[in-house]
Amino acid sequence: MANLKLSGVSKIYPSGKMALFNVSFSSSDGELIAITGGASSGKSTLLRIIAGLEECTAGDIYIGDKQVNDVDPKERDVAMIFRSNTLYPSLTVSENMAYGLKMRNFPSAVIEQRVKAAAQILGLSEVLYRKPKALTATQRQLTTYGRAIVREPKLYLLDDPLSGLDPKMRTQMRNVLINLQVRMKGTFLYATKNIAEAMSVATRIVVLKEGFVQQIDTPQNLYDYPANAYVGFFVGSPTMNLIQNAVVVKEEDGVYALFDDKKLKLSDKTISRWTNINEYIGTDKKVILGIRPEDITPDGEGAQLQGTVCGTDTTAELKLAEIDISKNNSLTVLLDGAVKGETHGVLIDTNRLYVFDADTQLTLLARDEGYVADTKNTEADFVPLTKGETEERQKQFAPPEKPAKKKR
């Protein structure tokens, strides 16, 4: 197997649209890295560039110790599994799995050995001579994985391979991929917009937003120590509550965050992690408070706030309620049996509070002893661009506006 290294990879289309900006990270042999982000974040584009299906505008790509920018896709020794991989209906499972090797003129004995080995790993030995129409949906999906396995590539690229599957099959295939990665000892890059999926399969996660890297770290560190408000909101389900435009004041009994007509006392732990808090106390500099639903206890003893239920979600596995706590802010909480219009107290674990600068969107809290450093993760200290810096780059590369058509 081989490690992967990207250095300053950017993609600007001829139209001027920017798809990726200065993406840099590296993987270890046998690591499974998830690439995640919302729509148009650049996940698929990044995989296609690594595979050689698209060229990068700037930057370097290394697979093992070899720079592959100018290497043809078939020479990069990479297998790519797309979300819509299809099988040849006239070929058997064995023939579908062997097709790529035959096109590369592998000896028949090698092809037969690899197909049988892959079929055994995937549990397809009994259906090797069936055609796709005689397979279950699970078996068809497994056959597409087998087609990649038989090539024994240095690098596996999976572009949202579970998209469109029903929940039960999605869970089953996710477990197959995790076990497959362990057995093959391969380096896997797994692109998905499903953050829960990324958190469950990956050793590390690269979070993208509109082509910009936001953070690269382990799933637990992304959850506990988000680099900015976007990562805080994106990582976790239910999503983080964000209280906008709060200011910080110091009173006789402590330091408070004020928003609308409410105030929330900051814990000593939060204050100790906020290294430049004096730049915010008593000034007009605003912050965003992040509060995860699981860190809120409805009607808990010593509740700091009160509010009225304005909405409920009883369809989710977790029973959720939305509580208005001030004129402009509401909190999503875990609350079963909530009724719209009810009043509830809200107890917030302020030791678990997140604080971001309202202008830059970057975290204001330093890591503490709870941060578990991964010595292989050289990108853990990466600081994303501020909101303003990102907007400037986007303006720089924005496609020129088309002139308005003249009215006749």
> Is the pLDDT score of 175 beyond 70?
yes
Amino acid in position 169: M
Residue-wise pLDDT for 308-344, tens only, equals 999 998 776 789 999 999 999 999 999 999 999 999 9
Percent of the chain exceeding pLDDT 90 equals 72
Amino acid in position 360: T
Q: pTM of the full predicted structure?
A: 0.91
Confidence category of residue 183, pLDDT binned at 50, 70, 90: confident
Q: Is 97 helix (H, G, I), strand (E, B) or coil?
A: helix
Q: What is the mean pLDDT of residues 168-191?
A: 84
Quote the CA–CA distance of 211 and 391 in Å, as a whole number.
12
Whether 259 and 289 have beta carbons less than 8 Å apart is answered as yes
Q: Check residue 404 and give its pLDDT.
A: 64
Quote the CA–CA distance of 159 and 163 in Å, as a whole number.
9
Q: What is the DSSP letter of 38?
A: S
Quote the CA–CA distance of 97 and 162 in Å, as a whole number.
19
Whether 210 and 40 have beta carbons less than 8 Å apart is answered as yes
Residue-wise pLDDT for 330-387, tens only, equals 999 999 999 999 999 999 999 999 999 999 999 999 999 999 988 777 899 999 999 9
Confidence category of residue 406, pLDDT binned at 50, 70, 90: low
Q: What is the DSSP letter of 44?
A: H
Q: What angle do CA 393, 397, 398 make, to 5 degrees?
A: 110
Q: What are φ and ψ of residue 104, in 5° steps?
A: -100, 10
**What distances in angstroms separate CA 122 from CA 100, 169, 382, one per listed residue?**
18, 15, 38
Arithmetic mean of pLDDT over the chain? 92
Q: Is 92 helix (H, G, I), strand (E, B) or coil?
A: coil
Helix axes 93-103, 108-122, angle to 10 degrees: 140
Residue 140 Rama label (left phi>0; alpha psi -120 to 50; beta): alpha
Encoding tokens for residue 161? 């391979």
> Is the pLDDT score of 102 beyond 70?
yes
Quote the CA–CA distance of 398 and 55 in Å, as a whole number.
19
Quote the CA–CA distance of 43 and 66 in Å, as a whole number.
23
Residue-wise pLDDT for 58-101, tens only, equals 999 999 889 999 999 988 989 888 766 689 999 999 999 999 89
Q: Check residue 386 and give its pLDDT.
A: 97
Confidence category of residue 171, pLDDT binned at 50, 70, 90: confident
Whether 298 and 346 have beta carbons less than 8 Å apart is answered as yes
User: Locate tokens 């637990």: which residue?
Assistant: 220
Q: What is the mean pLDDT of residues 144-152?
A: 88
